[in-house]
């Protein structure tokens, strides 16, 4: 008897987290903007990590989101 295991497939999105309070593009989240986070959640995106990097005394944050691919995607 053969057993078939289907693995889920995901797509990923990375977004720069800025500090100005204004959304500059669809890939930039200004601060902790609950409205934008909720919009991404309604689109199926799940926040899975925030990466902090530093360069020249400046801290950068990048939010990593994932969502499951469906047959329609």
Higher pLDDT, 9 or 62: 9
Q: How far is CA 11 from the centre of its chain?
A: 10
Give the 3-state DSSP-derived string for 1-62, with helices as H, strands as E and coil as C. CCCCCCCCCEEEEEEEEECCCCCCCCCEEECCCHHHHHHHHHCCCEEEEEEEEEECCEEEEE
Q: What is the pLDDT of residues 42-69, one digit of tens each?
A: 999 999 998 888 878 777 788 899 999 9
Q: Tens digit of pLDDT for each residue in 11-21?
A: 999 888 765 43
Cα separation, 59 vs 57, whole angstroms: 7
């Amino acid at each position: 008897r053969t057993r078939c295991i289907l693995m889920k497939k995901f797509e990923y999105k990375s977004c720069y987290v800025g500090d100005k309070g204004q959304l500059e593009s669809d890939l930039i989240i200004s601060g902790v903007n609950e409205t934008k986070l909720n919009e991404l959640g309604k689109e199926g995106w799940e926040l899975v990590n925030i990466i902090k990097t530093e360069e020249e005394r400046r801290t950068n944050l990048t939010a990593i989101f994932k969502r499951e691919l469906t047959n329609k995607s």
